[in-house]
Amino acid sequence: MAQATTTERFLGWLKTITFYELLVGMKATMSHLIHYKPITLQYPHEKRTLPDNYRGMLALLRYDDGTEKCVGCDLCEAACPSRVIRVVSAEIPGEPTKRYSKEYSMNMTRCLFCGMCVDACPVDALGMTREFEWAVYDKRDLQLNKQQLLAIGDRSFPVREKRLELQHQNVAFFNVAFKHVPQKPN
């Protein structure tokens, strides 16, 4: 038992004299120095791949026939924690049950990019793009109106879905959307 402690003391003394910990650290440093591969990207020319769940600039979306998806329900405005969104909705003339957003604006200087407005939208009219290069000299350029948000959506989401009436067969069957189709016989 006393022999083991003497051997351990001798090894401890030898490690202290030879700076063993320092040599182990230098070995790790030298291996990194020899096998170094730079990971720096030359930014304007090289861009990194963004993850699938990246939340960038917000955009308004359209259906495949070019009509806007937004129905002016104001749920995105209510869900936004920083009060970025402002929606003014109106009714379609002659059809009091259908609404649309007459005005839609976002102040992107206050946006948290949390995605709560996208989750709150019942018709998926909002989308988070992968655009992140929005540096401007004047912050008034980041107050986006409806046309600018639709242009961002057209640029970022080129593949669009069909209108709701054309997606579900029950809507066409019960003549909710198509007035030119004769009524189903009873």
Binding residue numbers for [4Fe-4S] cluster: 70, 73, 76, 80, 111, 114, 117, 121
Cα 47 to Cα 41: distance, rounded to the nearest angstrom: 7
Beta bridge partners of 100: 90
Q: Give the angle subtended at the CA of 56 by the CAs of 51 and 58, to the nearest 5°.
A: 140
73: three-class secondary structure by DSSP? coil
Contacts of 100 (CB under 8 A, 6+ apart): 68, 70, 71, 72, 89, 90, 92
Query: Which residues contribute to the annotated binding site?
Result: 70, 73, 76, 80, 111, 114, 117, 121
